[in-house]
Amino acid sequence: MQFLHVTGYAEAYCEPIPKDTLSFVSGYSTDTLLMRLSKINAMLFQQMDNRMIDPEILREAVFCDVLGFEQVTEFRPLFTDERRWFAEGPIGLLIMDLLQNFKMIETPASSDPLEFAHNLFKTILVYNDLYYGRPRGIALESLEGIFMMETMQQGYLRAKGVMKVDTFGRFLFLSKFLDSDELLREEADMYCEKMKIQNPWTFAKFFLAILASAIHPQNWGNHMLDLSHLWPEKLMREFGTDPTELAGKEKVSLNMDVVTKPFLFLTPEKILVLDYNFFQYALENGFLYSFYRHSSIKLQSKFKTYENFKAYIALEFFEKYLVGSLLGEIFHKKSQRLISTEKYQDFIIRASSCDVFVFEVKMNDLHPNTFENLDYKAFTEEFLDKRFLSDKGNGAKDKGVGQIVRQLGHLSEPNIELREKLGIKHSEKMNIYPVIICSEHHMNIAGVNHYLNDGFEQRSKNLKGSFQSIKPLTIIHIDFLIKYFGPLKRNPALFAEWLSGYHRSKKGLEKLYDEKGGPITYLLSKRSLFGYMEMKKDFPNPYQATVDEIEKCFDLETNGVWNALGIRV
């Protein structure tokens, strides 16, 4: 949740941005421009935490052809610790517009390098204004303001640092699931044969190898791949941008047309990596879509549509296999009891003599247009309300909060089968921890937990007298379970301790905000559980314990992932 001031054209040059936002670079070949922009993205990716990377980018990617360039005098007053000139979001927007207006121009040999660098730099600043100038008249100290600011940071796409390990961890589980699932095992083998890869994990290892190479110090600023390194060409073509498909297209979407295709073939052998961060989409969404598109599974009546296929993955892989396996290993003690049946969904766990967890599991994807357009109304009304707060009648299944409240109703009833299975005689002695485990990254931004807990509090208020306490609702992204699996496996009591600490922290910060106000305090008071844990200074790095426990419990080769990405454990 670190927000920096990114300088725009209007601020730097004290004049409005041009109506034609590409006017400064219209005379240059798109390939030439994309090569510079992809190098900037590579440098930002490799040095994401270096706030003074901008001078190096100017020297090595923008003014690299200008002999003797150190720091142009006109820019010197703009160098401050609080300001940035280069950010991935605006550059992604510029890349999208360049692809939509793709031009093959033979740049004259007499072209002035300094003039070209100035024009490129000014265009980048123009797109800083375009990108960060979108939310106008919206107060930061509001849930809508937080949504706007966090979404523009593109956390769903640009998982920083070790969070990328969690993405690969999920793929390890998916690979093992595909190797054992009766309906998908043979189809997965056929897909891998078609893509000329050994197995599903080879798909992830391909991207892992490129990332490991990209972050190596000797490859500083490297944004090109060479097919002579024996990369799987068919797989790369699957995720390669075709400018002819986008050029002149009426509407190009950054998240659906550009992020999905991180490679650009300049020649049959030389490939440009538009943005290493785009790999996250390929791992989390692209593989499943590619698998469905290139296999015969769509011919089966059960999987006539991609939505049918995703529903199967959501239930069989995400809920039963991934979440079920993680929770089963965390709450593994003989005194702990886990219930998961058709009637008592998704998971109800008695963790101790007085603590009961009620888990609802949701694998839902937010439509890319919602966050690309910063559409807060669609996010709340079409996604959060309908997927997590809707109540179904006539015997149909409730969703999200409604499902949890229904299970609380069961727990409050004496002499019911559920309480007998859990060994609960007196519900009034129980502390209830309601939790939603989800797959969508936008559920992890500040304000979401607050928004859904308001709905939960309204629906559960009549049940409060049935228990010693009903804790506030907690939203947990699946990456949290993976990252902290090791410590939780070794000490399951940490789960209740962390959730309680998170909500105490929220309550204290909300009180502080009521007294003193301030956007930072407001933002912190609405942060997610993940955000709370990331700022928890009294807890050691969890990855060593997680590596050891995941390998021991699930026989997954996580250590290779950690080592390849240079993560110390």
64 closest CA partner among 99, 29, 39: 39
| Structure tokens that stand for 183 in this block | 């309906």
The residue type of 210 is I
Q: Which long-range contacts (CB under 8 A, 24 or more apart) does 130-133 make?
A: 130/17, 130/21, 130/90, 130/93, 131/87, 131/89, 131/90, 131/93, 132/6, 132/8, 132/89, 132/90, 133/8
Alpha-carbon gap, residue 318 to 482, rounded angstroms: 13
Query: Quick check: 145 and 521 in contact, CB under 8 A?
Result: no
Alpha-carbon gap, residue 337 to 319, rounded angstroms: 18
Segment holding 328, helix H or strand E: helix 324-330
The three-state secondary structure class of 567 is coil
Residue 162: what pLDDT? Answer: 43
| Structure tokens that stand for 162 in this block | 């070790």
Which pTM was predicted?
A: 0.92
CA quadruple 160, 164, 170, 174: dihedral positive or negative?
positive
Segment holding 434, helix H or strand E: strand 431-438
- Cα of first residue to Cα of last residue in the chain, in angstroms, is 24
Work out the burial of residue 72: count CB atoms within 10 Å of its CB; fewer than 13 is exposed, 13-18 middle, 19 or more buried: middle
Query: Quick check: 83 and 5 in contact, CB under 8 A?
Result: yes
Alpha-carbon gap, residue 159 to 139, rounded angstroms: 26
Query: Quick check: 530 and 446 in contact, CB under 8 A?
Result: no
Looking up tokens 């902290």 gives 484
The three-state secondary structure class of 225 is strand
Query: Quick check: 437 and 360 in contact, CB under 8 A?
Result: yes
Instruction: Give the pLDDT means over successive 10-residue stretches in the chain (569 positions).
Output: 77 92 93 94 79 82 81 58 82 94 68 89 95 84 91 75 71 94 94 92 88 81 81 89 83 90 88 92 92 92 94 96 97 94 92 96 91 93 93 65 94 90 92 96 93 96 94 96 94 96 96 93 94 83 85 79 59
Alpha-carbon gap, residue 482 to 326, rounded angstroms: 8
| Structure tokens that stand for 209 in this block | 């190898």
Phi, psi of 475 (to 5 degrees): -95, 125
Alpha-carbon gap, residue 64 to 315, rounded angstroms: 52
The β-bridge partners of 5 are: 83
| Structure tokens that stand for 462 in this block | 């009549």
The β-bridge partners of 437 are: 361, 476
Length of the chain: 569
Count the neighbouring beta carbons within 10 Å of the beta carbon of residue 110.
5
Alpha-carbon gap, residue 149 to 137, rounded angstroms: 13
Sequential DSSP letters for 475-537: EEEHHHHHHTHHHHHH-THHHHHHHHHHHHHHHHHHHHHHHH--HHHHHHHT--HHHHHHT-T
Query: Quick check: 446 and 146 in contact, CB under 8 A?
Result: yes
CA quadruple 323, 281, 383, 140: dihedral positive or negative?
positive
